[in-house]
Amino acid sequence: MTSMKGAELQPLLHHTKLSLEEPYGWGARIGLIVLSTDPVIERDFQKLTPDDSVGVFSTRIFLERPNCDRTFLALADELEPAARLIIPDSRLDAIVFGCTSATTLIGPANVAELVQRGRPGVLVTDPASAALAALRRFDARRIALVTPYTIEMTKNVMRFLMADGVSFSSVRAAGYDTDHDISSISEEFFVEAAKASKLDGAEAIFISCTATKALNVIETIEAETGLPVVVSNQAAFWHALSLAGRKLPISGYGRLLREMW
């Protein structure tokens, strides 16, 4: 086989001038910072994405196991470099830090500041802040809380919510401290835990954690209990879209995404 020289190749080459269009996510581009251990949140965000006008772009940061105050607090050091990695040459409308528990420890304001160091000017949310925004949207100040966490991690979430004036009719915790175990809890557990909660006086149900299978059963729980249901990933996606200026009713995942724009 003989190789062709540059002069011989030139007649074969044709330069085509194009009019470029926007990449995917022309209506809203959401960045997602995912824990290295979380096997769920990317899947859930893709399930919630209605069409190509909304783009979700993710990167991962390392979480040491097990889940505890020390390992969650260590995530703060990784937020700035992670934010820099998300489609740096394209417009980005909002970034979600994908951890409810870590946000209750690091603090939403600190999370936003660290993310914005890596991506100046971007709007920032997280599942804990998004859940509060969703509960306010429902005017829900007394809730039933369900978590897959240990008692100690559940207390962190409770303190965070209580600081915003939320109280509890019931709190149920499954007791797990790794995302692998949390993501292995069946979706039926969340249905039964919600139904078994003390719901008298409750105005909503909040299921915390980005690694649960709860997204699939939001509508079932709402139908069984008559209460609005807020789930970490559902709330974070809704809040990110809201920050991006998109109001898109999305069916199949509860009243929040279907009605509360």
- 159: its two tokens: 């303190």
pLDDT, mean over the chain: 96
Instruction: Encode pLDDT of 187-211 as tens digits.
Output: 999 999 999 999 999 999 999 999 9
- Going by pLDDT thresholds of 50, 70 and 90, the confidence category of residue 253 is very high
1 falls in which pLDDT band (50, 70, 90)? low
Token code pair at residue 169 = 């009719």
- Provide Rg for the chain, Cα atoms: 21
| Torsion angle, alpha carbons of 244, 94, 92, 216, to 10 | -90
The pLDDT of residue 4: 61
Sheet holding 28-35, edge to edge: 54-61, 28-35, 94-98, 123-125
For 126-150, write each residue's pLDDT tens digit.
999 999 999 999 999 999 999 999 9
221 in Cβ contact with 229 (< 8 Å): yes
Which pLDDT does position 13 carry in this prediction?
77
Q: Do 130-231 and 28-125+235-248 fall under one CATH topology?
A: yes
Query: What pLDDT, in 10s, does the model give residues 89-104?
Result: 999 999 999 999 999 9
At 40-64, the pLDDT tens digits run 999 999 999 999 999 999 999 999 9
Q: Would you say 190 and 215 are in contact if contact means Cβ atoms under 8 Å apart?
A: no
DSSP three-state, residue 47: helix
Query: What local confidence, expressed as pLDDT, does residue 5 receive?
Result: 66
* pLDDT per residue as tens digits for the range 25-45: 999 999 999 999 999 999 999
Q: How do the domains of the chain map onto residue ranges?
A: 28-125+235-248, 130-231
Q: Where are the alpha helices (DSSP H) in the chain?
A: 6-9, 41-48, 69-73, 76-84, 100-106, 108-118, 127-137, 151-162, 179-183, 187-196, 218-225, 232-243, 255-259
What average pLDDT does range 112-123 have in this prediction?
98
Nearest to 80 by CA among 122, 42, 132: 122
For residue 86, CA distances in Å to 33, 51, 109 come to: 9, 20, 20
Decide: 100 and 210 in contact? Cβ < 8 Å.
yes
Burial of 2 (0-12, 13-18, 19+ CB in 10 A): exposed
Q: Has residue 75 got a pLDDT over 80?
A: yes
Question: Which CATH fold would you assign to the domain 28-125+235-248?
Answer: Rossmann fold (3.40.50)
Q: Among the CATH numbers 1.20.1630.10, 3.90.550.10, 3.40.50.12500, 1.10.1060.10, which is that of 130-231?
A: 3.40.50.12500
Between CA 68 and CA 77 the distance in angstroms is 16
pLDDT of residue 17: 86
Q: CA 200 to CA 222: how far, in whole Å?
A: 15
